[in-house]
Amino acid sequence: MNTKICEYRVLIPVGSVELEGDLTIPAAAQGIVLFAHGSGSSRHSPRNRYVAEVLQQEGLATLLLDLLTADEEEIDLRTRHLRFDISLLSERLVSATDWLCRSPVTRQLNIGYFGASTGSAAALLAATKRPDVVKAIVSRGGRPDLIGPDLNQVQAATLLIVGGNDFPVIAMNEDAFSLLGHTLAKRLEIIPKATHLFGEVGALEQVAALASEWFKQYLMG
């Protein structure tokens, strides 16, 4: 196990706004995973925070980031349109990625993305804009279909995780998987009996274990 040596709140400037994030860096970390939250979620998501804690225990740094400001989240609660603005969300992920590359405490770390729901689409699209930087992606119950033909441009090693009872999303991920043509590696993992939020006993633990294995292989090798 690695002892945390750095854990603090960060503000990342993106155009005219600042995004809030929680950065944790274990001792001797070699990689960092940037979390892209999905529909109506935030960096306080208990599911993603659980996965982040598992990754931290394995020696991976994490950045849990809100892709929308507090004001934007208020608007989105009413309109539900910003969560599907994949272009906006991916641009903000790219800005956060560039920030990680500049920061003295993270610039030496290999970068990966963990995306959930619409955040997965944003992560995949952002990866196409920084192909030399983003090494690995894990999608949990994601909507990779939302970026369509851009999937063919993804070069990062990509793991798609879907619940076995999340039927519409299974089909979306199977179609997206077939379009991932230039990745370093790709894998589609279906967790039996799990639903979209992986709330079943042991389901989220399986997600965290799969993600940890994937990121250790491609960020810490």
pLDDT for 130-149, tens place per residue?
999 999 999 999 999 999 99
Residues 6+ apart with CB under 8 A from 107: 100, 101
**pLDDT, position 68:** 82
Closest CA to 137 of 73, 105, 93: 93
Candidates 3.40.50.1820, 3.40.50.9100, 3.40.1190.20, 3.50.50.60; correct CATH number of 4-219? 3.40.50.1820
What pLDDT band is residue 191 in, cutting at 50, 70 and 90?
Answer: very high
Predicted confidence at residue 97, as pLDDT, reads 98
β-bridge partners, 158: 137, 186
Per the model's pLDDT, the better-predicted residue between 63 and 37 turns out to be 63
Q: What is the pLDDT of residue 178?
A: 95
| pLDDT score of 204 more than 80 | yes
Token pair, residue 6, equals 């750095």
How confident is the model over 5-34, as a mean pLDDT?
92
Contact 39, 91 (CB under 8 A): no
Q: What is the rounded CA–CA span in Å between residue 166 and residue 193?
A: 8
Instruction: Identify the pLDDT of residue 181.
Output: 82
pLDDT digits (tens, 9 = 90+) for 85-139: 899 999 999 999 999 999 999 999 999 999 998 999 999 999 999 999 999 999 9
3-state secondary structure of 71: helix
Going 143 to 160 to 192 to 213, the CA torsion angle's sign is negative
Residue 79 has pLDDT above 90, yes or no: no
* pLDDT score of 84: 72
With a cut of 60, say whether residue 39 has pLDDT above it: no
How many Å is the maximal CA-CA distance in the chain? 44
Mean pLDDT value across residues 12-19: 91
The radius of gyration computed from the CA coordinates of the chain, to the nearest angstrom, equals: 16
Is a pLDDT exceeding 70 seen at residue 11? yes
- For residue 65 the two structure tokens come to 């980031």
Position 129 scores a pLDDT of 97
* pLDDT, position 42: 65
Half-sphere exposure of 219 (CA within 13 A, CB side): 33
